[in-house]
Chain A
């Protein structure tokens, strides 16, 4: 066996050991290469994950709710509106990065969400906008605690049905 082969053997055996001892994780610092020569530490991007649930609300003789949104039943039933039937239109999980506007991917109309900032490490400041039928319905900025819910709703003319968008971030 030649010296080169022996050196290769040592590299194969020792490389994983050296790699396993790396103390810096991606969560702590990301290394960014500058001109291929120097690296600096950069804070990880601020981002949160938000559940976006789009619901069609209507009024009927018997109350009903889509099994997929059963977790919202209590909250929806507590509202002072006449709706008692709720049907899931779409459900997505969006990762919002600070300062970047994301489409909510609504089935009816369009909507966007932007993470303005995080507050006290347990709340998010969000800007939400929604268009329906080519018209701006709402544009709002709200600070909400992680896991709390924000529900934006409006009637859908000419019917008396309602269109709801529920958002909760973690």
Chain B
């Protein structure tokens, strides 16, 4: 086989050559007795192998074949999840990566939210005053309810401007000759 080798012969036998190649190889076979002999041998071997496999399959009893299929079906059924919980668990199993990522993200967000909420509460609580500031015009004048200056005298002065009232209590020691 100078022009056509054994691989091409096997491809021809298996019908794998295209039409043009097959025609060329057929012409080659007409002129080459050795190639024809090899082709016949390949055909015989193919028939032998195919016949043996089919005979083995035919020899298997039907009940054994049915039992084999039953085992296959049973294995498939057992692998399938049962009930809603099983289906949910199977879904989570299939998306394990996404679930873990989601859990970590949700945990982080929850932690941040709780920290922020706590800080806001604490800030609001600590900064919240028990009194409110009225506009200066609506405020009443301050009232000094008691004033004790053990070693001197006290002078109380009230002033009012656009910002509100200012009370000044000036304490003059008893031994001071000058006033303010």
Chain A interface (Cβ < 8 Å from any Cβ of B) = 1, 3, 6, 9, 12-13, 15-16, 19-20, 25-27, 44, 46-49, 74-75, 78-82, 95, 98, 118, 121-125, 135-155, 157, 160, 169-170
Contacts and interface: CB of A to CB of B under 8 A. Distances in A.
Contact of A47 (B93, B130, B140, B142): B130
B128 A27 contact: yes
Contacts of A146: 129, 131-134, 139
Contacts of B152: 137, 154
A125 B131 CA distance: 11
Most buried by A among B161, B176, B180: B180
Interface string B62-99: 00000000000000000000000100110011001001
B94 to A, nearest CB: 10
Interface of B: 85, 88-89, 92-93, 96, 99, 103, 106-107, 109-110, 113-114, 117, 121-122, 124-134, 136, 139-140, 142-152, 154, 157, 159, 161, 163-173, 176, 178, 180
Contact of B143 (A44, A142, A152): A142
Nearest to B164: A148
Contacts of B167: 142, 144, 148-151
A4 to B, nearest CB: 11
Main secondary structure of the interface of B (DSSP, over half): mixed
A39 to B, nearest CB: 17
A137 B130 contact: no
A106 B169 CA distance: 17
Nearest to A140: B147
25 contacts: A1-B93, A1-B96, A13-B106, A27-B124, A44-B125, A46-B130, A49-B129, A75-B161, A75-B166, A122-B131, A122-B133, A125-B145, A136-B150, A136-B151, A137-B151, A137-B171, A139-B149, A140-B154, A144-B142, A145-B142, A146-B139, A148-B164, A150-B166, A155-B173, A170-B129
B132 A152 contact: no
